[in-house]
Structures are given as structure tokens and as C-alpha cells.
Amino acid sequence: MKKYFLLVLIILFSSFNYANTHVEHYNKVSLLKYGLYLNDKLIGTHTFNFKKDGDLFFVNSSGNFKVVKLGVVLMDYKTNTKEVYKEGKLLNFNSKTHQNKKEKFVKVSLNKKKI
């Protein structure tokens, strides 16, 4: 029974051709900024900037936080992300992240040939 349930889930999720992102509810928001807390102590921030230009919707975000215990840095995290949407569908996603002195990145673009 478990195998059949898993098979149904796989078929269901693989039938989607694109991600449905639901970014339309941010159309009237230009800036979203919040603090990150650990044990009631501010350890970092995350900021989102939203911009609409014609039928394109841009989301730029940056964040950072640092966790230090007994003078030892357990986690040092910085990220910058740029996203572009058209009609609520993701066109581009670029992210650069520095996590504990390691650089990570993601670059995703819509393949227009598959549409």
C-alpha cells in the first residue's frame, strides 16, 4: 500500500510543467524586512525588495546571520538572491550564498524551448 501511495504522489508531482509560485500577493509591497532571533537575541536580518516593471515582477533578497557560542562561530551565513517572474511564473533565479567560508550558488532559467 505504501508503494502505491508513493507512486501516486510521484505521478502527481511530475505532471506539473512549471512551478506555481503565488507571488501576486506581493504586488503592492515594495520592501519586507525582518530580524532573525535566537534565544531573544538578534543574530541577523533578511530583506526582500519587490519591483514590478510591465508584466515582469522582480524580487531581490539579501540575508545574513551569525551564530556564536562560547566565542566559537557555529554558523556564518550570507545570501543574495534575484528572482524574475512573469504572470506568476518563475523565469530566472540566481542566488549566491556564503556559508561557513564556503561559496554556493544557484542559477536557474526557464527553458523556453520546452514551453
Q: What is the pLDDT of residue 59?
A: 92
Q: What is the pLDDT of residue 15?
A: 47
For the chain, the domains span: 20-114
**Residue 54 one-letter amino acid:** G
Contact 78/103 with Cβ under 8 angstroms? no
33 three-state secondary structure: strand
Average pLDDT over every residue of 9-13:
53
**What pTM did the predictor assign?**
0.70
In the chain, what percentage of residues exceed pLDDT 90?
29
User: What does the alpha-carbon distance between residue 19 and residue 26 come to, in Å, rounded to a whole number?
Assistant: 17
For residue range 27-80, what is the model confidence (pLDDT) as tens digits?
Answer: 677 888 999 898 899 999 999 999 988 889 999 999 998 888 888 988 898 999
Res. 18: pLDDT tops 80 = no
